[in-house]
């Protein structure tokens, strides 16, 4: 059975009070619309149509890589009018006998793929299937009208603004998600009229059409409220962010990860953890992060697109991006690993040390206030406080090679390209612009001198 997905993403989102289209605001680091498109891809949609309107060019550019087709709704005259714009992009009559169309909302980002899949199965290419939810306060939701004699039969949906007081007391709300046989959807949507208070074309009116045509209307309920909540304001976005992060935190803890406080945890990508992983408070994980067995992450760390080996410790306030950390390594506190940083086993990177595009072999140490950029560092190297690699000449980057067992004293400048032979010692305060031989002491500093009779300048006396 062919599956089409139509995503309604044309609204302005006035209550967001933002120049950005509402569906491009981010939840867990990903736009609301991209969350919906990810769900469509997860259920195997054969064709996805995104209906754009406000900020259409921005929206279409932002999700172009998804392969979705786009239909523009100008002006916005209701949900039914939106789907009318998508009809030319849905399969033609001769191709749609077994086709189902699932309609999703671009500002409802957390619908689980399994829920969407279950709704499609309920449709079965023959029924009109509605996704509903029972809420303590269904304000703003269209209400589900059921047959008083047979509660399993859905007779219609009434929009909140058109509902009577008795109808507004109904707690079962329509989520805006439905699945229908494509051929029937095309016919029903084409016949919609706008004879209502708002003079809009309501998609929900097709329920009455289905009933009139004798097409069974089924109503499946979402597993929980969170997956059908929409975003209309910054407050709602923040509340949904916390719900989503709690969902992710609970899944990690059920898998054995020990979070110091699940309420102070943010995952904006994917996080794979081995056994006995410990994560302290206020840590942010972005992109794709892998933590091996026994890893400990200190408080207030930001880790993006990184792999951390078994038993490594990332001390508090460290920032890692595009880095690989070996087994048993120690990083931080207040350390920064930039893209291309590769630490071998048992490497130590201490406070206020920055590493970029450099490899450090087993047991190398840079414990204080140092910079390593575009460097290859051997085993057991001790890299002194205040030392840097001067890797950029204003136009090009150059590499520094430091052999095994080298000792670099404090406050040294290694002017690349330069190589330090195995076992070399660099005296503190040296500026090294030529290769240093293995096993020897190299010192490059000005001769100390004391100037007899020199007096420090004084400020002129202030006038009385």
398 labelled catalytic: no
169 shares its domain with 251: no
Tokens representing 232 are 């209309």
Share of the chain above pLDDT 90, in %: 83
pLDDT-based confidence at 353, cuts 50/70/90?
very high
- State residue 162's pLDDT score: 86
pLDDT tens digit sequence for 176-203: 999 999 999 999 999 999 988 788 899 9
pTM for the whole structure: 0.89
Residue 342's domain comprises: 247-442
Helix axes 182-190, 79-86, angle to 10 degrees: 120
Q: Which residues pair with 302 in a beta bridge?
A: 284, 319
108 shares its domain with 212: yes
207 shares its domain with 276: no
Does residue 104 surpass a pLDDT of 60?
yes
Q: What is the domain-level CATH number for residue 213?
A: 3.90.550.10
With respect to residue 455, please indicate whether it lies within any of the assigned structural domains: no
- State residue 312's pLDDT score: 98
Over residues 73-101, the mean pLDDT reads 86
The DSSP string of 47-80 is EEEEEEBTBHHHHHHHTGGGT-EEEE-SS---HH
With respect to residue 178, please indicate whether it lies within any of the assigned structural domains: yes
300 shares its domain with 364: yes
With respect to residue 460, please indicate whether it lies within any of the assigned structural domains: no
The DSSP string of 64-125 is GGGT-EEEE-SS---HHHHHHHHGGGSPPGGG-TT-EEEEEETT-TT--HHHHHHHHHHHTT
- State residue 426's pLDDT score: 98
Phi, psi at 51, each rounded to 5°: -95, 115
Residues 6+ apart with CB under 8 A from 148: none
Q: Which residues pair with 408 in a beta bridge?
A: 383, 426
Q: Which residues pair with 239 in a beta bridge?
A: none
With respect to residue 274, please indicate whether it lies within any of the assigned structural domains: yes
Q: Which residues pair with 415 in a beta bridge?
A: 390
335 shares its domain with 432: yes
178 shares its domain with 326: no
pLDDT tens digit sequence for 284-328: 999 999 999 999 999 999 999 999 999 999 999 999 999 999 999
pLDDT tens digit sequence for 33-65: 999 999 999 999 999 999 999 999 999 999 999
Sign of the C-alpha dihedral computed for residues 65, 66, 70 and 72 taken in this order: negative
Kindly report the number of other CB atoms within 10 A of residue 131's CB atom. Answer: 26
Contact 36/106 with Cβ under 8 angstroms? yes
State the burial class of residue 79 (Cβ atoms within 10 Å of its Cβ: 0-12, 13-18, 19+). Answer: buried
Catalytic residue among 160, 315, 368, 398: 368
What does each C-alpha distance from 286 to 185, 322, 398 come to in angstroms? 40, 10, 30
Residue closest to 207 by CA, chosen among 124, 318, 130: 130
280 shares its domain with 210: no
**How many distinct structural domains can be found in the chain?**
2
With respect to residue 234, please indicate whether it lies within any of the assigned structural domains: no
Q: What is the domain-level CATH number for residue 291?
A: 2.160.10.10
Q: Which residues pair with 52 in a beta bridge?
A: 9, 72
Contact 258/279 with Cβ under 8 angstroms? yes
What does each C-alpha distance from 25 to 35, 96, 106, 181 come to in angstroms? 11, 35, 11, 32
With respect to residue 453, please indicate whether it lies within any of the assigned structural domains: no
* Cα–Cα distance, 198 to 80 (Å, whole number): 13
9 shares its domain with 72: yes
Residue closest to 191 by CA, chosen among 83, 101, 49: 83
DSSP 374: S
- State residue 93's pLDDT score: 57
């Amino acid at each position: 059975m062919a599956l089409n997905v139509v995503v309604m993403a044309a609204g302005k989102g006035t209550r967001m009070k933002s120049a950005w289209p509402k569906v491009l605001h981010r939840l867990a680091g990903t736009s609301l619309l991209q969350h919906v498109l990810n769900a469509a891809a997860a259920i195997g949609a054969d064709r996805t149509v995104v209906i754009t309107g406000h900020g259409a060019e921005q929206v279409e550019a932002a999700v172009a890589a998804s392969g979705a087709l786009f239909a523009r709704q100008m002006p916005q005259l209701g949900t039914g009018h939106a789907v009318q714009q998508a009809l030319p992009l849905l399969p033609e009559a001769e191709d749609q006998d077994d086709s189902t169309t699932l309609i999703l909302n671009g500002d409802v980002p957390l619908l689980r793929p399994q829920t969407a899949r279950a709704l499609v199965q309920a449709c079965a290419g023959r029924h009109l299937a509605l996704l509903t939810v029972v809420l303590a306060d269904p304000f703003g939701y269209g209400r589900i009208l059921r047959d008083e004699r047979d509660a399993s039969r859905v007779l219609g949906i009434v929009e909140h603004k058109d509902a009577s007081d008795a109808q507004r007391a109904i707690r079962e709300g329509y989520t805006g998600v439905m699945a229908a046989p494509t051929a029937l959807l095309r016919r029903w949507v084409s016949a919609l009229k706008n004879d209502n208070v708002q003079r809009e074309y309501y998609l929900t009116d097709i329920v009455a059409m289905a009933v009139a045509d004798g097409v069974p209307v089924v109503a499946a309920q979402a597993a929980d409220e969170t997956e059908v909540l929409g975003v209309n304001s910054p407050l709602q976005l923040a509340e949904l962010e916390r719900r989503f992060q709690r969902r992710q935190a609970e899944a990690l803890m059920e898998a054995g990860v020990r979070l110091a406080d699940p309420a102070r945890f943010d995952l904006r990508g994917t996080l794979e953890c081995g056994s006995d992983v410990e994560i302290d408070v206020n840590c942010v994980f972005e992109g794709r992060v892998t933590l091996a067995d026994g890893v400990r992450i200190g408080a207030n760390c930001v880790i993006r697109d990184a792999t951390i080996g078994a038993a490594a410790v990332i001390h508090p306030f460290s920032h890692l991006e595009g880095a690989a950390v070996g087994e048993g390594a120690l990083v931080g506190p207040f350390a920064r690993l930039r893209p291309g940083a590769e630490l071998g086993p048992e490497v130590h990177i201490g406070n206020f040390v920055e590493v970029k595009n450099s490899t450090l072999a087993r047991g190398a140490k840079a414990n204080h206030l140092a910079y390593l950029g575009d460097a290859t560092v051997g085993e057991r190297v001790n890299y002194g406080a205040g030392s840097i690699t001067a890797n950029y000449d204003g136009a090009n980057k150059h590499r520094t090679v430091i052999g095994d067992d080298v000792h670099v004293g404090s406050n040294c400048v290694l002017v690349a390209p330069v190589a330090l032979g195995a076992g070399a010692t660099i005296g503190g305060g040296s500026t090294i612009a030529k290769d240093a031989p293995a096993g020897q002491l190299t010192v490059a500093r000005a001769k100390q001198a004391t100037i007899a009779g020199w007096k420090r300048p004084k400020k002129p006396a202030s006038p009385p």
